[in-house]
Structure 1
Amino acid sequence: MHANCPNCNLRYEKEPGNFYGAMYVSYGFSTAIFLITAFILYYVFDDPELNVYLISILVVAAVLFPFNFRYSRVIFLYLIWKS
């Protein structure tokens, strides 16, 4: 995220506790990633062992971490935005 607005040069500042809500959105993203990965493994690979589930979910979560980190904050800001 930019330190200042590119249009009006407004300095962005974090409010105390602002991103606690983003942690809830991130939790929802992570849960969705875990469940989707587990369902794909279950239906495509015909119920693999527990180790395959754990390793696959951890790899997919690690790959999608930048997406989760950035967009959970952005979606939370859109949720609390008041015009």
Structure 2
Amino acid sequence: MGSMHANCPNCNLRYEKEPGNFYGAMYVSYGFSTAIFLVTAFVLYHFFNDPGLNVYLITILIVALILFPLNFRYSRVIFLYLIWKS
């Protein structure tokens, strides 16, 4: 299995990632992170009778770290689907 060409074999165009893709994916990632924080806080509040602030902070941090690989990958994929034009 070979790697991707650095330049187009036909027109010699250099393949590069556009900086806008990273910025756009950061907005999608921010939305995912906000949703993770809110859902975790909602579950803690309603199912564990409103624990203390430390429990909120530690639990949200642990859940966010566990879900970070999914957030990182899917935020880029979803952003590409949002900007893709057929």
TM range (shorter): 0.7 to 0.9
**TM-score calculated relative to the size of structure 2:** 0.81
- Structure 1: which 4+ aligned runs deviate by more than 2 Å? none
Structure 1 alignment gaps of length 5 or more: 5-10
Match of 1:16 among 4, 16, 19: 19
Percent identical across equivalent pairs? 83
Aligned-residue CA RMSD (Å): 1.8
Indicate whether 1:40 and 2:43 are aligned: yes
Indicate whether 1:60 and 2:67 are aligned: no
**TM-score calculated relative to the size of structure 1:** 0.84
Q: Deviations over 1:14-55 (max 9, x none)?
A: 113221010000000000000000000000100000000000
Match of 1:29 among 22, 28, 32: 32
Paired residues in the alignment total 76
Match of 1:51 among 51, 54, 75: 54
Mean alpha-carbon deviation: is it higher for 53-62 or for 17-26? 17-26
* Structure ID, larger Rg: 2
